[in-house]
């Protein structure tokens, strides 16, 4: 059985006739010109982002030291990869109420912006004055006097640490321009201009993570792009040292099980079966007891007391002694 075509022969002929009879586009009508600024490199990709990310990795370690006095402990930080956004899109993502600090970063052109969420500020104030750092239950639309003071101290400390990191590329002089709590008043660049956004994820204790953002105008980074892209033997060495520091920091967070054995009494099976609550098993403490890490001997120490609690004083590190014997 042969299927009939969807269109008849007359219908196909009519369509072909309309196609040929369609009026041609008027070649004489000029297209609407679009403005273009010669010398503009807005469309050029930002090749210095990897260098900026390397600076952010170093900044995350400085930022940990900055936050430690406020957080009364060591926060956990990580630098996220930098992204290029339109400033208007970035502003649209921000909450209505947020801490914004704008700084000149001479000789870099323009201004940089530091953004901190208000709930993070409230938690730092609570921890600083002896609280637990729990999230505030009520949504605030303005900072208290204490929070404003902490924001100023924190922002100046963060930007000071940022300047010390940037000193590896170019000597900068940060200078406060203004502090705002609404992105509508944060006149960094026009909304249709590009910015580089760097984010640092911050976790304090067991609470929910927060973030600190630093926003650079892309035009400002382009003014020193050559310095950012420059690589020297000292920079390569610094990156090797940075890798070792990151590895050491990661290993330092690994938790291991450590225990000590005070005595190993031996009992016959008959004695074991006759044990009752209240029975006493005599033991003799050795002069030194081992400290076992994951079941392996690590050190020897003596039992004593410290601050009213039983304690082990390390007398000898087995691991180091074995390493010296191998060498």
pTM of this prediction exceeds 0.85: no
Same domain, 238 and 144: yes
Q: 96-130: per-residue pLDDT in tens?
A: 899 999 999 988 888 999 999 988 888 888 887 77
CB neighbour list of residue 22: distance below 8 Å, 6 or more residues apart: none
Query: Where residue 43 falls among pLDDT bands split at 50, 70, 90?
Result: very low
The reply to whether 12 falls in a domain is: no
How many structural domains compose the chain?
A: 2
Domain that holds residue 124: 49-252
Q: How far apart are the first and last CA of the chain?
A: 90
Same domain, 127 and 269: no
Same domain, 100 and 248: yes
Q: 75-104: per-residue pLDDT in tens?
A: 888 899 999 999 999 999 999 899 999 999
Same domain, 291 and 201: no
Same domain, 212 and 166: yes
% of the chain beyond a pLDDT of 70: 76
DSSP state of 277: T
Distances (CA, A) of 97 to 16, 51, 110, 116, 148: 62, 32, 24, 10, 13
The CATH number that applies at residue 298 is 2.30.330.10
CB neighbour list of residue 296: distance below 8 Å, 6 or more residues apart: none
The reply to whether 268 falls in a domain is: yes
Same domain, 316 and 178: no
Same domain, 150 and 299: no
Q: 234-279: per-residue pLDDT in tens?
A: 454 555 566 677 777 777 777 778 888 777 888 888 888 888 898 8
Cis upstream peptide for 55 (omega within 30°): no
The reply to whether 65 falls in a domain is: yes
* Average pLDDT of the chain to the nearest whole number: 79
How far apart are the C-alpha atoms of 130 and 207, rounded to whole Å? 15
């Amino acid at each position: 059985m042969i299927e009939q075509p969807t269109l008849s022969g007359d219908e196909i002929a009519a369509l072909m006739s309309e196609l040929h009879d369609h009026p041609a586009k008027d070649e004489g009508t000029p297209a609407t010109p679009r403005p273009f600024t010669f010398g503009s490199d807005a469309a050029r990709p930002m090749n210095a982002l990897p260098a900026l990310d390397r600076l952010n990795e170093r900044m995350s370690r400085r930022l940990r030291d900055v936050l430690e006095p406020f957080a009364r402990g060591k926060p956990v930080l990580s630098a996220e990869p930098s992204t290029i956004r339109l400033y208007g899109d970035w502003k649209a993502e921000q909450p209505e109420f947020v801490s914004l600090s704008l700084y000149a970063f001479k000789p870099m052109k323009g201004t940089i912006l530091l953004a901190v969420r208000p709930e993070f500020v409230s938690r730092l104030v609570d921890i600083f004055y002896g609280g637990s750092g729990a999230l505030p239950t009520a949504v605030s639309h303005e900072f208290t006097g204490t929070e404003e003071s902490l924001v100023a101290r924190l922002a100046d400390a963060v930007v000071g640490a940022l300047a010390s990191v940037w000193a590896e590329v170019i000597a900068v002089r940060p200078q406060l321009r203004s502090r705002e709590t609404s992105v509508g008043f944060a006149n960094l660049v026009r909304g249709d201009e590009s910015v580089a956004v760097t984010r640092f994820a911050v976790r304090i204790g067991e609470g929910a993570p927060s973030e600190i953002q630093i926003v650079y105008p892309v035009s400002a980074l382009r003014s020193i792009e050559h310095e950012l892209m420059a690589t020297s033997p000292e920079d390569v060495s610094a990156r090797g040292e940075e890798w070792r520091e990151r590895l050491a920091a990661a290993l330092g967070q690994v938790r291991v099980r450590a225990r000590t054995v005070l005595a190993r009494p031996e009992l016959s099976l008959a004695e074991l079966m006759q044990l009752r609550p209240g029975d006493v098993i005599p033991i003799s403490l050795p002069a030194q007891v081992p400290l076992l890490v994951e079941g392996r001997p690590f050190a020897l120490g003596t039992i004593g007391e410290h601050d009213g609690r039983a304690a082990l004083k390390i007398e000898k590190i087995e691991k180091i002694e074995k390493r010296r014997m191998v060498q």
